[in-house]
Amino acid sequence: MEEQVQKNAAPEQNPIVKQKIQRLRELYADAPELGKVALEKGIPDLAREFAAATTAVQNAGRIGARQGKVSELTGILPIAKGGAKRLRGLLQLLEGNFRGADKVGTLHDMRFVFLDNDTKLLFATAYDGEWDAYIDDFVTKIPNSLDLLFCNIEGWPGIHSPTIKEWLVQHQVAAEAWYVAHPNLTVAETRRLENVGKAVADFLDKVG
């Protein structure tokens, strides 16, 4: 506790923080002038981050980062011949409606970005827990949705392939940094709190 107070009082005096600032100055030695200026101006803020830093990020199972209960999955997937046209068409027709994803119950978001002249797909999602845990459930519960999306990817072994986990891991790129505003709020918990909020509002409407 005392240590914490001390850290907050003068983070720049903390030897670890000092070391980190020193390291940052070295890294930015060859930065453009405006970068160097920004670094010097930003040092008080950065020192506070450094002082607070306990490893907030953990491992999300085999690959990927997790903060609290929320994990990230980023994949860069080679698009199969004709796959870009099909996948873009499918995504456009869906107009952002992903009820299948609602059903999964752990997906906070998903993004699909076409890269390098439609030869690659960036797929990024934030989800609860470890994805391996439920992959078998996807196989028996929503095999079609996944095959429909990912048949457009080169080398997709099919959701029923026993090598599916290895395939996914091979295409996953671990994020270097991962920030979550509410690391303890899972999708299920968010929905529950939303309902609690509504119930309270209804109650207040009735008594007010």
Q: How far is CA 180 from the centre of its chain?
A: 8
Residue (49 or 166) nearer to other proteins, CB: 166
Give min distance, CB of 161 to other proteins, in A: 7
Give min distance, CB of 183 to other proteins, in A: 13
Residues 6 or more apart whose Cβ sits within 8 Å of residue 26:
none
Residue (49 or 137) nearer to other proteins, CB: 137
Residues in the chain, total: 208
Residue 131 neighbours by CB distance under 10 Å: 23
Residue (47 or 72) nearer to other proteins, CB: 72
Residue (115 or 188) nearer to other proteins, CB: 188
Residue (16 or 193) nearer to other proteins, CB: 193
Residue 108 neighbours by CB distance under 10 Å: 18
Q: How far is CA 177 from CA 55, 57, 156, in A?
A: 11, 8, 28
Give min distance, CB of 189 to other proteins, in A: 6
Give min distance, CB of 26 to other proteins, in A: 35
Binding site for other proteins (CB under 8 A): 69, 103-106, 128-130, 133-134, 136-142, 160-163, 186-189, 191-192
Give min distance, CB of 196 to other proteins, in A: 12
Whether the CB-CB separation of 66 and 57 falls below 8 Å is answered with: yes
Give min distance, CB of 10 to other proteins, in A: 34
Residue (104 or 121) nearer to other proteins, CB: 104
Instruction: Report phi then psi at 166, rounded to 5.
Output: -65, -40
Whether the CB-CB separation of 187 and 106 falls below 8 Å is answered with: yes
The amino acid that residue 102 corresponds to is: D
Q: How far is CA 164 from the centre of its chain?
A: 21
